[in-house]
Structure formats: C-alpha cells, structure tokens
Amino acid sequence: MITADEQRASIRTGLMAAIGAYVLWGFLPLYFKLLGETSPAVILAHRIVWSVPTALMLIAVAGKWGELTGLWRQPRVLFTLLGSSIAIAVNWTIYIWAVTNHRVLEGSLGYFINPLINFAFAALLFGERFKPLQIAALLIAAAGVINQTLVVGQFPWISLSLAISFAIYGAIRKTTPVDSRVGFGMEAIWLSPIAASYLLFFLPAGTHAFDPSDPGLIALLLLAGPVTAAPLILFAMGARRLKFSTIGVLQYIGPSLQFFLALALGETFTPAHAVTFGLIWTGAILFTLAGRKPRPAAVTAAPAAD
C-alpha cells in the first residue's frame, strides 16, 4: 500500500516532469533556429532517423524490449501506430516549417487551440458530454479564428493544422494499449525507412544530409532524437502521476513560452493579432475551468456513542 509520503513524492515527481516537458516544448523553436538554413525536410528526416536509436535505448533501459517485439504479433496495434506515426509526422512537418519560416507565433496559437480541438474530438469520438461553459469556450475561440481570417486577413491554417493533427495523434494513442516509450519507438521505426531513404538518395542537388565543414551543425542534427524524445518521456511520467485537470492547466506553459519567444524574435504582432489571441486565450481558460471537477465537501464525522 502506498503511504501518504510516497504519494506526495510521486505527485512532486510528476509535477516536475510535466513542467519540464512543457518548458522543453516551449523552447523547441530555439533548437530549430540553431539549425540555421537547414531545409525543414532535412530537419524532419533527421528528427525521425535519430529518434529510433534514442527510443530503442530508452526501451532497453526500461526493460520493455519484449513489448516492442510483441507488437509484431498484434497487427491491429501495429497498424494503429502506423496511423499515429503519420499524424505526428504531419504535425512535426508543419511545425518545423512554421519555425523556419519565422511563424512561431502561429505555431503557439495552434497549441492554445489544441485543447479545444481535443474536447471536440472527445465529444464526437468518445461520447463525452458538452457543458454550457465549454460550448461558450468553443464559440469564443471560433470568434478568434474568424477575427484572424477577416481582420488580420490571414486564415490560421498553420495553427488549425497543428491543433487538428495533434488531436488526431492524441485520439489514436488514447485508444492504443501500448507503453509510451514502445509506442514512440514503433512510430519512429515506421517512419524511418522513408526518412533514411530521403537523406541517402533523394536530397535536392546541392543539399547535404551532413555538412562536413560544420561539426557544430552535425552535433545538433544528431541531437534531434533526444530533443524529440525527452519531452515526450517527461510528459508520460507526469501524466501517470497527476490529475488530468492539473495537466490541463500545465499544458499552456509550452505555447505561452513560444508566444513570448516569437515576440523576442521580432515577429509581427498587431492589435488585430492581440484580439485573436485574447479571444482564443479566453476560450482556452474557460474550457479549462469548465473541465475542473469541484472538490467534494469535507464530511464531519458524527461523535461516537458512549
């Protein structure tokens, strides 16, 4: 039986792990910026290829090797992970393109919208009920999208694509009974033949998988696997130890850091952009509040009979 001290220690560990995951995701654009003029396709391919040895090492350390090899006897799970690998590859592709094209602000907006898309998926796919405040949150966030389209004059396709692709990924992984490390490893394995083939045989003329004259860039590309895996593993540690409502609040750390990072990098932010973010932030906050369950009232024990 778990003692109260052990439970508190587990919660503290989970809290630190989840915060660490979201902080790493928040500063991820800086990693892509350090890669300079490297093509988004080359960055994506390296991210996939070097995720494989990283994942295999983590699986071996955790003693989950049998679970990975056992997937080959579970074709339904195996091909479900193919679907999730495609969803996360689409998400990574769009995000890397956004960062390398100086559109970090739109990327951060996508991850503010993501919880609302998740809720819509939960209602449509898993039968979860809408609350009045959650409906209001969705309408307010939709007003933000409309403002971005009509007033700013730019349909937020990057933001919506990121939110929807990650929601699809989450929905698939929610229904797939597999350890997070094993699932991540299998997704990387599914994608790696295409990524490796691209790096070896299909690079455009004048493009190199590695530039031998720049050892610093080579080191950064080799770090793509750990940079991808670390926040995912930390997130899994946090999700197992914390309440869903706590995760719901913490998930705004990442896009908030990305938002301020975009401003520091000098991206355009007009009053019209402020209205868009204000509406979507309001919708996200209302959505989070609506999802929180009230704490049960304390019950006073009746005095014992003499």
What is the structure's pLDDT at 297? 45
Between 133 and 96, name the one with better pLDDT: 96
Q: What are phi and psi of 39, to 5 degrees?
A: -60, 140
pLDDT of 257 > 70? The answer is: yes
pLDDT of 124 > 80? The answer is: no
Q: What is the mean pLDDT of residues 66-79?
A: 93
Q: Band of the pLDDT at 56, cuts 50, 70, 90?
A: very high
Q: What is the mean pLDDT of residues 209-227?
A: 86
* 3-class SS letters over 45-109: HHHHHCHHHHHHHHHHHCCCHHHHHHHHHCHHHHHHHHHHHHHHHHHHHHHHHHHHCCCHHHHHH
Total domain count, the chain: 1
Q: Band of the pLDDT at 234, cuts 50, 70, 90?
A: confident
What is the structure's pLDDT at 301? 37
Whether residue 6 is contained in a domain is answered as no
Instruction: Tell me the Cα Rg of the chain.
Output: 21
Under 8 Å CB-to-CB from 51, ≥6 apart: which residues?
184, 188, 192, 224, 225, 228, 229
Whether residue 305 is contained in a domain is answered as no
For residues 26 and 257, what is the distance between their CA atoms, to the nearest angstrom?
A: 5
Whether residue 209 is contained in a domain is answered as no
Residues spanned by the domain of 43: 11-200+215-291
Burial of 154 (0-12, 13-18, 19+ CB in 10 A): middle
Q: Band of the pLDDT at 95, cuts 50, 70, 90?
A: very high
pTM for the full predicted model? 0.83
Tell me which amino acid residue 52 is: V
Whether residue 297 is contained in a domain is answered as no
What is the structure's pLDDT at 31? 94
pLDDT of 295 > 80? The answer is: no
Q: Specify the residue for token string 């932010």.
A: 269
Whether residue 206 is contained in a domain is answered as no
Query: How do residues 105-122 score in pLDDT, each as one tens digit?
Result: 999 988 888 877 877 777
For residues 43 and 41, what is the distance between their CA atoms, to the nearest angstrom?
A: 5
- 174-119-283 Cα angle (round to 5): 145
Which among 36-40, 99-103, 116-120 has the top mean pLDDT? 99-103
For residues 213 and 229, what is the distance between their CA atoms, to the nearest angstrom?
A: 28
Query: How do residues 166-213 score in pLDDT, each as one tens digit?
Result: 888 888 887 888 888 898 999 999 999 999 999 999 888 777 788 777
Widest CA span in the chain: 91
Whether residue 1 is contained in a domain is answered as no
- Alpha helices, H only, 101-156: 104-126, 132-150
pLDDT of 96 > 90? The answer is: yes
Percentage with pLDDT > 70 across the chain: 93
What is the structure's pLDDT at 69? 94
Give the CA distances from residue 194 to residues 49, 198, 206, in Å, rounded to whole numbers and listed in that order.
Answer: 9, 6, 20
Whether residue 296 is contained in a domain is answered as no
Q: What is the mean pLDDT of residues 36-57?
A: 92
Provide the mean pLDDT of the chain. Answer: 85
Whether residue 30 is contained in a domain is answered as yes
